[in-house]
Structure 1
Amino acid sequence: AGVSVDMLRGGDRTKRACRHRHEVMLRLKEETDLSLPAIGRLLGGRDHTTIMNGIERAKAKREAAQ
């Protein structure tokens, strides 16, 4: 199932949207040199602390899946 850029950038707080958004946050941090504020700007103007939280949630989800 595809996820739109609008869903990732928007305020959709459904479980599906948040799960994908958190994974994007983690991948952007791992695969680019972008700062947390820069990632936040890409994802709809989110605060760097929101990005930190999303990254931690995505990491926990990955670890639980192993």
Structure 2
Amino acid sequence: MTNVNSRTANKLSIISTLIDSALAFRRGRPKSGLLLLGAAVLSSRIPGIGTAVSVLLRLVRRLR
């Protein structure tokens, strides 16, 4: 079994944020897509920000 270290987890977080960004653009939500894209870029310096932004956007959409 493979060990998942923090570097691998951070890469997976960046990739999932990029996928969320692409899906937001595809669904016609350009502001969300740009926000997620920016969060993915910042994730290399601030680990976890992409996941936090993704969760926050989902909560905002659900509360509307």
- TM-score, normalised relative to structure 2: 0.35
- TM-score, normalised relative to structure 1: 0.35
Larger-Rg structure: 2
